[in-house]
Structure 1
């Protein structure tokens, strides 16, 4: 997801100042993707340059301007809503590379590496589940948290699979 489209989505309802956009973005995503105010204003500048937003009102400087979405911005946002954005896990993530290299390294206990990462994944699941039980600030934030839970569950399942593969390899 891009900050660009996130800001357009927020502006689709009503014009906002940059600080309002930042606060609302973080509230709706449960704070999982904090953005700094400089990133908000630089993104707004690019959106304005591209004709997707425009300043409204009498703000005299960038920090006192309200921004509104334009017709072109609504069109870009509609395209973003319609575009299926299925993501593939990055095969170059650190854990994948670590295990790919560890299986052929003579001086590494791969099972130990797997178990440490699996334990960390289970601990992360406990933390995320506790966060979910404590409540969130809206459905959007809940969905973000649940996605993190599902991703972590998938990681633990993959590590179980790796361990099974190691057992099969050793049994050959």
Structure 2
């Protein structure tokens, strides 16, 4: 996830200080990816260094206000225009755990699959309930949250299906070893 581009996008609306950016990001993404406030300020420092935002000074309450520069606007426009690359998929801790578990003697991969399935099904239920509750409000501002929830639901459904496949492969492997 690009914190850099997310902060630039939020600054297109209006100048903000770090905590406002953090709150706005979490509100717009349904709090699915909480941001560490230190990460926000570190990113703002880098964006300022790179000439993409400017420090507009304090607001009188001890907050430093940042605004986007023309170079920052161009950067965020390019980000929105470019598709997300699939060339370097993010690391999937579960896939790594199962792959390594298969090669480490004494690891109960079936138990790992069952434990993860239980967590994933519970998450799927929570996402679905949250989606239903959010959709019931029918406020235009909730559309962004619904998009995020739909993405989480689809990803979790895919994970559960993949876990079913993993379990089937484990059964095939055990039948071959007999």
Could you state the TM-score of these two structures normalised by the residue count of structure 1? 0.83
In the alignment, what sits opposite 1:51? 51
Using the TM superposition, give the Cα deviation of residue 128 of structure 1 relative to its aligned residue in structure 2, in angstroms.
1.5
In the alignment, what sits opposite 1:133? 132
Hey, what's the Cα distance between the residues in 2 that align with 1:78 and 1:100? 39
CA contact (8 A) 1:41 1:62 kept: no
In the alignment, what sits opposite 1:118? 117
Closer, same or farther: CA 103–42 of 1 in aligned 2, 3 Å: closer
Could you state the TM-score of these two structures normalised by the residue count of structure 2? 0.81
Using the TM superposition, give the Cα deviation of residue 32 of structure 1 relative to its aligned residue in structure 2, in angstroms.
1.6
Hey, what's the Cα distance between the residues in 2 that align with 1:63 and 1:19? 12
In the alignment, what sits opposite 1:90? 91
In the alignment, what sits opposite 2:65? 66
- Higher mean alpha-carbon deviation, 131-140 vs 103-112, is at 103-112
In the alignment, what sits opposite 1:155? 159
SS of 1:167 mapped into structure 2: helix
Hey, what's the Cα distance between the residues in 1 that align with 2:160 and 2:99? 17
SS of 1:16 mapped into structure 2: coil
Hey, what's the Cα distance between the residues in 1 that align with 2:65 and 2:102? 55
Hey, what's the Cα distance between the residues in 1 that align with 2:105 and 2:58? 65
CA contact (8 A) 2:59 2:65 kept: no
Closer, same or farther: CA 89–73 of 1 in aligned 2, 3 Å: closer
1:106-155 CA deviation, whole Å, 9 max, x = no partner?
53443333222212211111121122222176222221222111111111
Closer, same or farther: CA 64–158 of 1 in aligned 2, 3 Å: same
In the alignment, what sits opposite 1:15? 15
**Structure with more contact order per residue of length (Cα contacts < 8 Å, sep ≥ 6):** 1
Aligned positions, number: 169
Hey, what's the Cα distance between the residues in 2 that align with 1:60 and 1:118? 49
Using the TM superposition, give the Cα deviation of residue 8 of structure 1 relative to its aligned residue in structure 2, in angstroms.
0.4
In the alignment, what sits opposite 2:74? 75
Hey, what's the Cα distance between the residues in 2 that align with 1:120 and 1:60? 45
| Unmatched runs of 5 consecutive residues or more in structure 1 | none
Hey, what's the Cα distance between the residues in 2 that align with 1:41 and 1:109? 43
In the alignment, what sits opposite 2:138? none
In the alignment, what sits opposite 2:34? 34
